[in-house]
Amino acid sequence: MFFIPRNVSPQDKLQAVIEYLTGKGSQESIAKKYDVNHKSLSAWINNYKAFGETAFNRTGRNKNYSLEFKNTVVQS
């Protein structure tokens, strides 16, 4: 079975992260609720921790991440 990614609005990404961080479910259960892979949710959580709510603002271009951010994500 293949996973087909779907577009998730920035508001839904933020809501999913907040639900996880406030203990309203596991990564797996919240990912299932939003119909995404739990690895996607994990990435959203890491981005939120690094950038706050602005992590989900769409810029329409590729992002360039600092070395510090990359190290933070790897250590997480």
pLDDT digits (tens, 9 = 90+) for 35-60: 999 999 999 999 999 999 888 887 66
Average pLDDT over residues 20-49: 94
pLDDT for 5: 55
* pLDDT reading at 19 higher than 70: yes
Strand locations in 1-76 (E): none
> Which residues have a Cβ under 8 Å from the Cβ of 60 and sit 6 or more positions away?
none
The whole-model pTM stands at: 0.70
pLDDT for 57: 83
> How far is Cα 27 from Cα 32, in angstroms, rounded to an integer?
8
Average pLDDT over residues 22-31: 96
